[in-house]
Structure 1
Amino acid sequence: MKLHVTHRTEYTYDAPIRSLVQSLRLWPSEFDGQDVHAWNVGIEGTAVERGAAFRDGAGDWIETVSARDVSQLAIVIAGEVETRDLTGVVRGLREKVPPQAYLRPSNMTRLNQDLRELAQDAVSGIDDELSRAHALSRAVASAIVYTPGSTEADTTATQALEMGKGVCQDQTHAVIAVARAVGMPGRYVVGYLHATSDGTTHQASHAWAEIWVEGLGWVGFDAANGCCPDEKYIRLGSGLDAHAAAPIRGRSLGGGLEDMSVDVRVLDEQQQQQ
């Protein structure tokens, strides 16, 4: 499936920022599930210096940028990726980080008794690891109902479970937490999704979990849509949680209040030609 992506993230400040540094994880992963035919990450609105660029231990390409006296800044992505359905298996990704590293806790995925009980109930009587992973994702989807606008960027898995609702970020954090509760490494993945199961196009980037399954490797689970990632997904990168895997991370010095707007379009070939 050929997917065309346009993604614009624009920042405006009511007083100029004296200095700004950002780390960008905005390039599609290199693995068997996708081939990048074209991809450009441009920056508009101010003079920007591009700094270090490297591939980290998880296989993600990262670049740093910096700027001074910033009143407005836009990061603009345009690209084409050909994807294929590997039933969620992340095959061919070159990475150096061992799976056990993703058993570490983070603030967003920290376990409590309720998450532990949810995990144990989900896998009770299931011995096969892949089946256990599917059961964990289903349990989270039932316990945390997808509800747009119901949580904040810093909501943790335990808080979302207590409320019983959340967005894809919250469900992903909870899947990671319950996987870790039963000894299965889990990590947070960011990327793009062409459409929901009913055909509605997405207007933002998407998140899902990957769980390490012995004999298969990393396998993706999207609790929000009740499926494993297929040809409708473009994978960008991963981390312990949403903060670590964020496509754009930055620090600024001085200046006023920030306003951010995001527009994402993921179209297939037929939509692109219309």
Structure 2
Amino acid sequence: MRLLIQHETEYHYTEPQARVVQLLRMTPSSHIGQNIVDWRIDVDCDARLKQSTDGFGNIVSMLYLAGPVERIGLRVTGEVLTEDRAGAVSGAIDPLPPAVYRRATELTGPCEALLDLLRDHEGAKGDALSRIHGLNSAVCRLFPCKEHRSTDVRSVGEVLEARSGCSMDMAHVLIAAARADGFPARFVTGYIYREDPDCGHREAPHFWAEIDVPEYGWIGFDPANDMCPNDHYVRVAQGLDFRDAAPISGARVGGGHEVLAIGVDVSLSQEQYQA
């Protein structure tokens, strides 16, 4: 599938900022099943961008702005060729051994509600892959996925207590469950194309999990949609949890508050329509 990505982010500050530094994890890389045809990041103010690779293998761009800064507009556009590989991830930049992804974090630490979920799932039969598919479905059934991402980043315990959340929250729950069950699991940020014309404009990127399954390697699981990622998905960044793979993180020097607006649109390219 040939997909077009448009991701717009705008910051407004109630007071001018003396300095703003942001880390952008908004550039995907090519691997088996995903080929980046074109990709660019544009900033609508006088800024300096420096690209590198982080410890998880993500392509990162450091954004530096000297004040006074009252607003920042970021626009990411790209074209990606994707292939349905039933969630299997091969050839991606992966500098860390799978064992690193068994490590619990503040957001994915086990809690009693999570252990209850695992106990309910203990009777599942089949091999490791079947077990993970079952866990993915179990997390999907916990609560409906909210379309819009909350600005709050909550721990698994808080998500399970509220029985409410977005794709980020559901990915954290699945990752915590998989790690508690002995599997390396990591958080993934990216985009998803939806064929439903009624779904309209998407306001945020999409998030899912990847789990290292014995004899298969890394496989993606999306508990928000109870499926493995296919050619509708574009994979961008990975980490132990959202904080390691967030599209934008950073710091500012100045008072006041910031107001954030995000718009994401994923569509078929003209070449795909013609095909």
Give the TM-score category using the shorter length.
over 0.9
Unaligned 5+ runs, structure 2: none
Match of 1:66 among 50, 64, 69: 64
* 1:60 Cα deviation after fit: 1.2
Q: Deviations over 1:151-204 (max 9, x none)?
A: 652222111112222111111100001001110011110001111678735332
Distance 2:129 2:119 in 1: 15
Q: Deviations over 1:236-268 (max 9, x none)?
A: 001111111101111011132111111111101
- TM-score normalized by structure 1? 0.92
Partner secondary structure for residue 99 of structure 2: helix
Contact (CA 8 Å) 1:141, 1:226: kept in 2 or not? yes
Q: Deviations over 1:5-62 (max 9, x none)?
A: 11110111121111111111111132112101110011113x21223x2223432111
- TM-score normalized by structure 2? 0.92
* 1:117 Cα deviation after fit: 2.3
Contact (CA 8 Å) 1:4, 1:272: kept in 2 or not? no
Partner of 2:83: 84
2:205 is aligned with what amino acid? Answer: S
Distance 1:230 1:63 in 2: 27
Distance 1:231 1:81 in 2: 10
**1:98 is the counterpart of 2:97:** yes
Partner of 2:2: 2
Contact (CA 8 Å) 2:149, 2:167: kept in 1 or not? no
**1:204 is the counterpart of 2:190:** no
Partner of 1:35: 35
- CA RMSD of superposed structures (Å): 2.1
Distance 1:102 1:196 in 2: 33
Structure 1 residues 150 and 16: alpha-carbon distance in aligned structure 2, compared to 1, 3 A threshold = closer
**1:244 is the counterpart of 2:239:** no
Partner secondary structure for residue 29 of structure 2: coil
2:62 is aligned with what amino acid? Answer: T
Partner secondary structure for residue 135 of structure 1: helix
Unaligned 5+ runs, structure 1: none
Contact (CA 8 Å) 1:20, 1:67: kept in 2 or not? yes
Partner secondary structure for residue 134 of structure 1: helix
* 1:270 Cα deviation after fit: 5.0
Once the two structures are superposed, the pairs formed by residues 1-274 of structure 1 within 5 Å of their partners are 1-45=1-45, 47-51=46-50, 53-69=51-67, 70-148=69-147, 153-195=152-194, 200-201=199-200, 202-269=202-269
Report the count of equivalent residues: 272
